[in-house]
Amino acid sequence: MKAVAEFTLKNRFNAILLVSVSAAIPVTFWLSAALLALITLRKGYNEGTIALLCSVVGAAIGMTQTDIFLGLLVNPMVFALAIVLRSTNSWLYSLVAGCFLSIVGTLLTHLLLLDFLNKTFDFMVAEYQKIENSEAWVNVILAMKEVAPFGLAPGAVTISILTLILGRSWQAGLFNPGGFQKEFHELRMPPKFLGMLMVTGLGLLAWSPLAIESVIIPLVFCGVALVHGVVKKRDMGTPWLTGFYILTVFFFQLMIPLVVLAAVIDSFVDIRSKLEVAKD
């Protein structure tokens, strides 16, 4: 992908071409977002804005559900988070900004899209009820109906952060080898930020337990950074990270709370610094 990143940054035409075309193709929607992040991080607000507009046009031309989701939700979020990261050079502020975007997005989903989502799921339920022995699928759809208004924005933010990470890693690979790994391994949630997230989380719990996902996002990424940092400091090797991600995929509901708990503990203990002292 280094060649693709270099080609994108060579001139504006290349950037517009790759960002818009990849936005129009469902299987490469992630590439458009990552390239947008790269362009914004490297060239700033003006070039990033042009790339963002072209990605939205590409998504509109593609006219599939995935592309519309990308063009209207993910890419603007990637652009905003890339601006924050470029301005502050801090992953912590970028994650907190992502939390804010997720909360605002969830509120807007309830204000603007709730009726549309309810009608969509009700239609799906009605269609499946016409099929024999479809009770299990109907129950799944009803569960999705309850979760979707609270999961749409956090899902978009999570994808945005992942593609921002990809774009940042490409930038570091081209202009600062090893820089991304260092800054990601050092990512940690300070106690004052954790306190702010906890207060925000209590407010969201008063609305709905499902709304808490927005607050969890920064802690998940801090927990993942902690795992990477510990593996690196202890020279444990790639197999440990591979095992961690395999466990996360197959035991998602168990692993995510553990990752969040690790991030909370690390906020007060600073586990990586303790490992340095022990190693010395």
Q: Is 156 exposed, middle or buried (0-12, 13-18, 19+ CB in 10 A)?
A: buried
The pLDDT tens digits of the residues spanning 72-92 come to 788 999 999 999 999 999 999
Structural Rg of the chain based on CA atoms:
20
Reference 89, options 152, 180, 7, 11; nearest CA is 180
**pLDDT exceeds 60 at position 280:** no
CA distance linking residue 57 with residue 117, whole number of Å: 24
In this predicted structure, the answer to whether residue 243 has a pLDDT above a threshold of 80 is yes
Q: What is the pLDDT of residues 181-200, one digit of tens each?
A: 989 999 999 999 999 999 99
d(CA 125, CA 137): 8
Segments making up each domain of the chain, as ranges: 187-275
